[in-house]
């Protein structure tokens, strides 16, 4: 082994421990002025290299100044927290540096990927699933759109989409990656039909069917219905069974974007939120959100084995030289070189087991409900609605939510986002970190009050 590699690996645990401990003393980190931070943190790229200890000291300095997504004041995103098994497995996957396209290069990592695809498919109700890990829910959704388009217009891969209008249907509350994907695939973003939601943020199946029928009547080609299991802002679940009825009657590909809420499959009391999923054609599930695995860890699953490879594969004799497609996941991936995102999920699964993951979800739900209870009981707050899953949306009555979030961040009190729901700007919190305590929720509300008092 190279001496410097031995030296840097030797320092790894000291650096990692010091970094993780910062969450206790400095849970948010000061906001850096982006126009000056390159200088103040010494980020400039040198012409000459330096010794390994100086490099690691620099890395530690940058890390210490980087916003924490694991501390007890982070409510800003749909991921949070650190997993002891997955974090270390991920570091080691970097060290191993396999590429996940062939069994020849990735060996047992491919077997792990296949096991996870099979088990996650089974949990989704896809008894004979095919799938592949992708760099995030947006890319899993893109793969689903591509499959649906290639299934609806088989010549599209070879001859292009020939100008015929292809329609995709998605709720007004769906994630923006659907819109982005429709644009990327040349279907035209104007052909994404936005279906209204009910008061709880769930897609209306009657309006959906009316839109599909009307489009068919005017010669347009329906390609995909995108349902969301766990919407980004409200954490709402579209009624999958009713949407599957529409998809079946109309003969349209049904995709379920469970990037966020797919993990509810692991919770016995909440699995019903995804009832009907087993009838979908494809399913996106991010393990880097509610399952707590480090970014990125997303899988695209299709119900029928063989379909993903049939709709996406390319031949490359310089790469796929042995083994069947089953053991060469590159044949069903959007990527060529691909990072190993499965070792960390497999390690987390060994550590928690299915029961541990379920307990994690129950704890997250408990926290979200505790926060909602506190907000509902406080006369100065107004709760948008009871949480469908982990997201709690509310306002400090009479105060602008966007300004509150900005001030909380500037003052280093908490990191929280805001969103617009029914033309109301609300504070959106996501209780994804299961290590939060009741006092962290109270501290958040106190900080919001404190900041609110300084605003007009
Ligand atoms: C419902 C939904 N779908 C897709 C995505 C995109 O996932 P990723 O950030 O992994 O690309 C998100 C991200 O928050 C999401 O909430």
Query: Considering the domain boundaries, does residue 46 fall inside one?
Result: no
Residue 258 lies in a domain: yes
Residues in a beta bridge with 228:
257
Q: What is the pLDDT of residues 84-125, one digit of tens each?
A: 999 999 999 999 999 999 999 999 999 999 999 999 999 999
- Decide: 76 in ligand 1 pocket, CB within 6 A: no
Residue 209 structure tokens: 């069917």
Q: Which domain holds residue 19?
A: 8-29+67-97+353-456
Establish if 193 belongs to a structural domain.
yes
The residue whose C-alpha atom lies closest to atom 7 belonging to ligand 1 is 137
* Helix, strand or coil, per DSSP, at residue 194: strand
223 C-alpha to ligand 1 centroid (Å): 21
Out of 339, 368, 395, pick the residue that ends a domain. Answer: 339
Regarding the beta carbon of 175 and ligand 1, being less than 6 Å apart is answered yes
Give the nearest ligand 1 atom to 288 CA.
10
Residues 303 and 373 in one domain: no
Instruction: Render 91-154 in DSSP notation, one character per residue.
Output: HHHHHH---TT-HHHHTHHHHHHHHHHHHHHHHHT-TB-EEEEESSHHHHHHHHHHHHHHHHST
pLDDT of residue 148: 98
Does 289 share its domain with 196? yes
Last residue of a domain, one of 314, 339, 364: 339
CATH (domain of 146): 3.40.640.10
User: Are 204 and 128 in a shared domain?
Assistant: yes
Long-range contacts of 164-168 (CB under 8 A, 24+ apart): 164/221, 165/191, 165/220, 165/221, 166/191, 166/220, 166/221, 166/223, 167/191, 167/192, 167/193, 167/212, 167/215, 167/220, 167/221, 167/222, 167/223, 168/192, 168/193, 168/223, 168/224, 168/225, 168/226
Residue 48 lies in a domain: no
Asked whether the beta carbons of 343 and 112 are under 8 A apart, the reply is yes
Same domain (yes/no): 184, 301: yes
Q: How far is the CA of 179 from the centre of ligand 1 (A)?
A: 12
How far apart are the CA of 137 and the centre of ligand 1, in A?
A: 5
pLDDT at 270: 94
Low-confidence residues in the chain, pLDDT < 50? none
The pLDDT score that the predictor gives to residue 111 is 98
Q: Return the pLDDT at 277.
A: 98
Predicted pLDDT of residue 348: 98
366 in the same domain as 314 = no
365 and 279, same domain (yes or no): no
The confidence score (pLDDT) of residue 164 equals 85
- The answer as to whether 50 is a domain residue is no
CA of 222 to the centre of ligand 1 (A): 23
Q: Looking at the structure, tell me whether residues 317 and 195 fall in a common domain.
A: yes
Q: Is the CB of 228 under 6 A from ligand 1?
A: yes
Q: How far is ligand 1, taken at its centre, from the CA of residue 349, in Å? A: 22
The predicted structure's pLDDT at residue 27: 87
What distance in Å separates the CA atoms of residue 358 and residue 355, rounded to the nearest whole number?
A: 5
Asked if the structure places residue 23 within a domain, the reply is yes
Residue 25, in any domain of the structure:
yes
Q: With a 6 A CB cut-off, is 181 part of the ligand 1 pocket?
A: no
Q: What global pTM score does this model have?
A: 0.97
Measured from the CB, is residue 78 less than 6 Å from ligand 1? yes
Mutate to test the pocket of ligand 1, among 286, 288, 298 (most ligand atoms within 8 A of CB): 286
Domain count, the chain: 2
Q: Which atom of ligand 1 has the smallest separation from the CA of 229?
A: 1
Among candidate residues 315, 339, 363, the one where a domain is terminated: 339
Statement to judge: residues 204 and 290 lie in one domain: yes
Question: Are both 184 and 321 inside the same structural domain?
Answer: yes
263, 375: one domain: no
Determine the distance separating the centroid of ligand 1 and the alpha carbon of 237, expressed in angstroms.
14
CB of 260 closer than 6 A to ligand 1? yes
Asked whether residue 45 is domain-assigned, the answer is no
The pLDDT assigned to 294 comes to 97
**Number of neighbours of residue 325 by Cβ within 10 angstroms:** 16
């Amino acid at each position: 082994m190279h001496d410097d590699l031995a030296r840097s690996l030797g320092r790894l645990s000291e650096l990692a421990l010091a970094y993780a401990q910062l969450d206790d003393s400095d849970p948010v980190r000061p906001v850096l002025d982006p126009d000056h931070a390159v200088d103040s943190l010494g980020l400039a790229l040198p012409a000459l290299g330096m010794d390994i200890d100086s490099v690691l000291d620099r890395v530690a300095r940058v890390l210490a100044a980087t916003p924490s997504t694991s501390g007890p004041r982070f409510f800003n995103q749909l991921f949070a927290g650190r997993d002891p098994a997955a974090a270390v497995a991920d570091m080691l996957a970097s060290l191993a540096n396999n590429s996940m396209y062939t069994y020849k290069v990735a060996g047992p990592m491919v077997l792990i990927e296949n096991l996870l695809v099979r088990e996650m498919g089974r949990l989704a109700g896809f008894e004979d699933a095919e799938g592949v890990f992708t760099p995030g829910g947006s890319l899993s959704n893109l793969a689903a759109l591509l499959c649906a388009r290639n299934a609806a217009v088989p010549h599209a891969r070879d001859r292009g989409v020939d100008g015929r209008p292809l329609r995709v249907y998605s709720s007004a509350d769906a994630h923006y990656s659907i819109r982005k994907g429709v644009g990327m695939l040349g279907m035209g973003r104007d052909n994404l039909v936005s279906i209204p939601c009910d008061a709880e943020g769930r897609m209306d199946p009657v309006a959906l069917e009316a839109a599909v029928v009307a489009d068919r009547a005017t010669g347009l080609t329906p390609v995909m219905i995108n349902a969301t299991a766990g919407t980004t802002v409200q954490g709402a679940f579209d009624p999958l069974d009713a949407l599957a009825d529409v998809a079946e009657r109309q003969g349209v590909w049904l995709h379920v974007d469970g990037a966020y809420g797919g993990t509810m499959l692991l919770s016995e009391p909440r699995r019903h939120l995804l009832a009907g999923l087993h009838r979908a054609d494809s399913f996106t599930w991010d393990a880097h959100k509610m399952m707590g695995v480090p970014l990125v860890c997303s899988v695209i699953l299709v119900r029928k084995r063989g379909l993903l490879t049939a709709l996406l594969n390319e031949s490359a004799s310089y790469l796929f030289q042995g083994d069947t497609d089953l053991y060469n996941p590159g044949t069903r991936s959007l990527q060529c070189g691909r990072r190993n995102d499965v070792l960390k999920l497999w390690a987390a699964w060994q550590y928690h087991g299915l029961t541990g993951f379920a307990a994690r979800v129950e704890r997250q739900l408990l926290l979200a409900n505790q926060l909602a209870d506190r907000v509902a009981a406080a006369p100065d707050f107004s709760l948008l609605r009871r949480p469908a899953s982990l997201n709690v949306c509310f306002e400090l009555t009479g105060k602008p939510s966007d300004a509150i979030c900005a001030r909380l961040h500037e003052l280093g009190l908490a990191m929280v986002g805001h969103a617009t729901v029914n033309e109301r700007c609300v504070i959106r919190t996501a209780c994804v970190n299961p290590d939060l305590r009741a006092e962290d929720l109270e501290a958040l509300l106190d900080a919001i009050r404190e900041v609110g008092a300084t605003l007009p």
